């Protein structure tokens, strides 16, 4: 197997995006009549370096085979590559390999937990050990007003199926979870929240929320989709029960994500999808299930994608997540400082660098987000416009849509500075300046 090459722009002195950019071929293309691409939409999906693409290609050209099946050489190599990726990703987030389940994406990971709870609630769990996941009328699931739909709708549906009640923490004007807005109770069974908001960029007070959940015996589900790709994250230290993240947001492939669950919880949790690979013993009358993580990986899983995610984690590790975070904070500082100077711009989210990540959302008075996005696109600048799958949050701020810029290791200060110029141009174009 080829060993991953360390990226050139990594070092103790921090991160040099210019040195990393050659790894990302897509960044040198042009868009819309020959303008250099300025990709400020990494929060939606990030770009993949050559090292990730090479790892996927190498796997497919040299080792491709169905994992955890067959005894031929390729099957062994493929299984090793798949499990090695799991182990490296586990190290990256401070977990044991058996605590990581490969899923399609974060959305599937959250649904897996919700459906396992659903199964426990109708008593099709493994046995008495699954009772702790059972919900019924009177029980509560708690989320926050800033959640991505992926961490909201599955819980709404779980409530519908079990008769439990959904409650939520509201969000302050500054874009923080308002801890005074809700009291957990003995009936609170799940507290699910985003580590970092995909719109506001605000980072949740995990320690405090975990402490409150622990005090009432609730399970904590952390949506780490926007934190694991951008900050050093140690899931064990955060003491959460479950966490999810997606490969495509962390320089890895799409089609692979991760569900983390504490060992004893995964061991007690019934499966969601069933079929091949996840069984222990099958008879026509009924079956028993494999221990985790296999219990939750029914069917032939994604393999080159998992291997690619392993390579992405190697790439990020070589750069150092502290460096990634520091770089993104510098970009955020530039974004906030330059946007603040543009008349009519209102930042939605914290206008400071405190407990914050590299996602900046804003509205422009008199110009709809779609129209701002169109003007930016015309200049080659790719941002996200709309509600970013956080509709209740947008309603909370009284806006239908925002413009969102988000960054990653390859984003440069110069690119971020172009954003404010583009917003000025949008104001000119629509005659509001």
Partner 1 sequence: MQLEQMYQEIILDHYRSPHGSGLKDPYDAESQQINPTCGDEIVLRVKLDDAGEKVLDVSHETLGCSISQASASVLTDLVVGQTVEESMKVLAAFQEMAQGRGKVEPDEDVLGDAVAFAGVAKYPARVKCALLGWMAFKDAVVRVQDGKVEA
Ligand X SMILES: Cc1ncc(COP(=O)(O)O)c(C=O)c1O
Binding site for partner 1 (CB under 8 A): 32-33, 368-371, 374-375, 378, 385-387, 391, 394, 400-401, 429-431
Q: Would you give the binding string for ligand X spanning residues 183-202, x where CB under 6 A is met? A: -----------x---x----
Can you give the chain as a three-state secondary structure string? CCCCCCCCCEECCEECHHHHHHHCHHHHCEECCCEECEECECCCCCCCCHHHHHHHHHHHHHCCCCCCCCCCHHHHHHHHHHHHHHHHHHHHCCCCHHHEEEECCHHHHHHHHHHHHHHHHCCCCCCHHHHHHCCCCCCEEEEECCCCHHHCHHHHHHHHHHCCEEEEECECCCCCECHHHCCCCCCEEEEEEECECCCCCEECCHHHHHHHHHHCCCEEEEECCCCCCCCCCCHHHHCCCEEEEEHHHCCCCCCCEEEEECHHHHHHCCCCCCCCCCEEEEECCEEEECCCCHHHCCCCCCCHHHHHHHHHHHHHHHHCHHHHHHHHHHHHHHHHHHHHCCCCEEEECCCCCCCECCEEEEEECCECHHHHHHHHHHCCEECEEECCCCHHHHHHCCCCCEEEEECCCCCCHHHHHHHHHHHHHHHHHCCCC
If one counts every other C-beta atom within 10 angstroms of the C-beta of residue 30, the result is 10
* 221 makes contact with ligand X (CB under 6 A): no
Quote the least distance from Cβ 105 to partner 1, whole Å.
Answer: 18
CB burial readout 11-27, b (16+ within 10 A) else e: eeeebbbeebbebbeeb
- Pick 63 or 176: Cβ nearer ligand X: 176
- Pick 265 or 401: Cβ nearer partner 1: 401
Residue 401: contacted member of partner 1, ligand X, none (CB under 5 to 8 Å, by partner type):
partner 1
- Pick 158 or 194: Cβ nearer ligand X: 194
Among 46, 107, 144, 406, binds ligand X (CB under 6 A): 107
Quote the least distance from Cβ 134 to ligand X, whole Å.
Answer: 26
Cβ partners under 8 Å of residue 412, min gap 6: 17, 18, 21
Residue 32: contacted member of ligand X, partner 1, none (CB under 5 to 8 Å, by partner type):
partner 1
Among 111, 120, 246, 402, binds ligand X (CB under 6 A): 246
- Pick 40 or 204: Cβ nearer partner 1: 40
Q: Which stretch binds ligand X (CB under 6 A): 10-18, 72-80, 105-113, 329-337?
A: 105-113
- Pick 393 or 420: Cβ nearer ligand X: 393
Quote the least distance from Cβ 110 to ligand X, whole Å.
Answer: 8
- Pick 7 or 357: Cβ nearer ligand X: 357
Quote the least distance from Cβ 190 to partner 1, whole Å.
Answer: 27
Quote the least distance from Cβ 36 to partner 1, whole Å.
Answer: 16
* 42 makes contact with ligand X (CB under 6 A): no
Residue 33: contacted member of ligand X, partner 1, none (CB under 5 to 8 Å, by partner type):
partner 1
Quote the least distance from Cβ 287 to ligand X, whole Å.
Answer: 29
- Pick 313 or 420: Cβ nearer ligand X: 313
* 359 makes contact with ligand X (CB under 6 A): no
- Pick 300 or 430: Cβ nearer partner 1: 430
Quote the least distance from Cβ 396 to partner 1, whole Å.
Answer: 13
Quote the least distance from Cβ 429 to partner 1, whole Å.
Answer: 7
Cβ partners under 8 Å of residue 41, min gap 6: 382, 383, 384, 404, 405, 406
Which residues are known catalytic residues?
Answer: 389
Contacts (CB under 6 A) with ligand X, residues 131-190: 148, 150-151
Q: Are 162 and 136 in contact (CB under 8 A)?
A: yes
Q: Are 389 and 198 in contact (CB under 8 A)?
A: yes
Which residue's structure tokens are 């080659």?
A: 380
Contacts (CB under 6 A) with ligand X, residues 378-417: 389
Total site size for ligand X, rule CB under 6 A: 14
Residue 429: contacted member of ligand X, partner 1, none (CB under 5 to 8 Å, by partner type):
partner 1
Residue 246: contacted member of ligand X, partner 1, none (CB under 5 to 8 Å, by partner type):
ligand X
Binding site for ligand X (CB under 6 A): 105-107, 148, 150-151, 194, 198, 223, 225-226, 246, 257, 389
């Amino acid at each position: 197997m080829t060993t991953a090459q360390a990226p050139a722009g990594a070092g103790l002195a921090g991160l040099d995006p210019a040195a990393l950019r050659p790894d990302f071929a897509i960044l040198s293309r042009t868009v819309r009549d020959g303008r250099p691409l300025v990709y400020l939409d990494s929060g939606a999906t990030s770009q993949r370096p050559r090292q990730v693409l090479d790892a996927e290609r190498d796997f497919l050209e040299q080792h491709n085979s169905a994992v955890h099946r067959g005894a031929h050489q390729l099957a062994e190599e493929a299984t090793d590559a798949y499990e090695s990726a799991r182990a490296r990703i586990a190290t990256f987030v401070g977990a044991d390999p058996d605590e990581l389940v490969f899923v399609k994406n974060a959305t599937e990971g959250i649904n897996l937990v919700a459906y396992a709870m659903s199964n426990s609630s109708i008593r099709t769990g493994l046995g008495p050990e699954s009772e702790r996941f059972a919900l019924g009328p009177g029980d509560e699931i708690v989320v926050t007003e800033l959640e991505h739909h992926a961490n909201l709708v599955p819980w709404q549906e779980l409530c519908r199926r079990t008769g439990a009640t959904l409650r939520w923490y509201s969000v302050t004007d500054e874009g923080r979870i308002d801890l005074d807005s809700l009291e957990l109770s003995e009936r609170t069974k799940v507290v699910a929240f985003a580590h970092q908001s995909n719109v506001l960029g605000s980072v949740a007070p995990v320690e405090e929320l975990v402490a409150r959940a622990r005090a009432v015996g609730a399970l904590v589900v952390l949506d780490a989709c926007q934190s694991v790709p951008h900050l050093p994250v140690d899931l064990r230290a955060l003491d959460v029960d479950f966490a999810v993240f997606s490969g495509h947001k962390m320089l890895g492939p799409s089609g692979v994500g991760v569900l983390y669950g504490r060992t004893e919880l995964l061991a007690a949790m019934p499966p969601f999808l069933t079929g091949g690979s996840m069984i222990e013993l099958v008879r026509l009358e009924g079956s028993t299930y494999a221990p985790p993580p296999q219990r939750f990986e029914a069917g032939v899983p994604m393999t080159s994608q998992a291997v690619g995610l392993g390579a992405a984690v190697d790439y990020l590790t070589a750069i150092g997540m502290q460096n990634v975070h520091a770089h993104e904070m510098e970009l955020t500082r530039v974004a906030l400082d330059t946007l603040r100077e543009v008349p009519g711009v209102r930042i939605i989210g914290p206008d400071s660098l405190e407990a914050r990540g590299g996602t900046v959302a804003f509205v422009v008075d008199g110009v709809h987000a779609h129209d701002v996005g169109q003007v930016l696109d015309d200049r080659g600048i790719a941002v996200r416009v709309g509600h970013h799958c956080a509709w209740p949050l947008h309603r909370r701020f009284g806006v239908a849509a925002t413009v969102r810029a988000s960054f990653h290791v390859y984003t440069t200060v110069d690119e971020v500075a172009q954003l404010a110029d583009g917003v000025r141009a949008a104001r000119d174009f629509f005659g509001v300046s």
